[in-house]
Amino acid sequence: MINKKTKICVIDYGFGNIASIENALNYLKFDHSSLKTPNGLGNFSHLILPGVGSFEAGISKLKKLGWELKIKDFIKNGGYLFGICLGMQLLFKYGTNEKTDQLIEGLGFFDGKCKKFFQNNQTNKLPLPHVGFNEVNHNNTKIWDGIKNPSYFYFIHSYKVSSSEDSHNYAKTTYGEEFISFIEKSKIFGSQFHPEKSHSVGLNLIQNFCNLQ
């Protein structure tokens, strides 16, 4: 089991806005490092998986760099994981190929499929990507301590997970149709929005995650 002083690892696999997350962690004064490969991952207590881009490219890069199995081992050893935007989508069982719409296996921590907006809704289409601040109705669990419900967070995405068959705590947001904007199970968390770009409420959420023990 992981039992050490709080130290944050940010996965730098080429698909995330690492600088924004690092700036937030610096502002909050947390000890952190960014790693391109999982060497030395055992030295960390918390892991952040950011991401901007396609599900297919993201999961392929994680596998190529050796992150897939190491992330799963990290969780088995008691570590905390927070996936952001594409990083949250990758936590689910399946994503979709943007060109063929075929299913792609993700990390599998949550049941669900990541698909493009409005595939089954031709009457209420809105511009894509979904960009800007939108309302998140959360469940007042520990990671939401001190954060008003509902609160507004910053989104930018064209793909989403609409539902999860697992009985996990999750929040939903509406952009033409409902989608999961936050999900958690035990020590695993995911936000479709970008907390690092969501002003004080986002910083509060990151701080709460990093303080989990």
138 is catalytic: no
- pLDDT at position 23 is 97
Q: Would you say the C-alpha torsion 93, 191, 31, 16 has a positive or negative sign?
A: positive
194 is catalytic: yes
How far is residue 113's CA from residue 47's CA, in Å, rounded to a whole number?
23
- pLDDT at position 166 is 66
85 is catalytic: yes
List 85, 130, 157, 184, catalytic entry: 85
- pLDDT at position 26 is 97
Architecture of domain 8-211: 3-Layer(aba) Sandwich (3.40)
In a structure prediction context, what are the per-residue pLDDT tens digits for the chain, which is 213 residues long?
344 589 999 999 999 779 999 999 999 999 999 999 999 999 999 999 999 999 999 999 999 999 999 999 999 999 999 999 999 999 999 999 988 989 999 999 999 999 999 987 666 779 999 999 999 999 899 999 999 999 999 999 999 999 887 667 899 999 999 999 999 999 999 999 999 999 999 999 999 999 999
Q: Would you say the C-alpha torsion 20, 155, 55, 98 has a positive or negative sign?
A: negative
- pLDDT at position 205 is 98
List 22, 68, 184, 196, catalytic entry: 196
- pLDDT at position 54 is 94
165: CB partners within 8 A, 6+ apart: 111, 112
pTM attached to this predicted model? 0.94
- pLDDT at position 17 is 77
- pLDDT at position 33 is 97
List 46, 138, 194, 210, catalytic entry: 194
How far is residue 105's CA from residue 46's CA, in Å, rounded to a whole number?
24
- pLDDT at position 187 is 97
187: CB partners within 8 A, 6+ apart: 75, 78, 79, 80, 81, 212
- pLDDT at position 4 is 56
Dihedral angle of Cα 42, 18, 13, 115, to the nearest 10 degrees: 110
146: CB partners within 8 A, 6+ apart: 204, 208
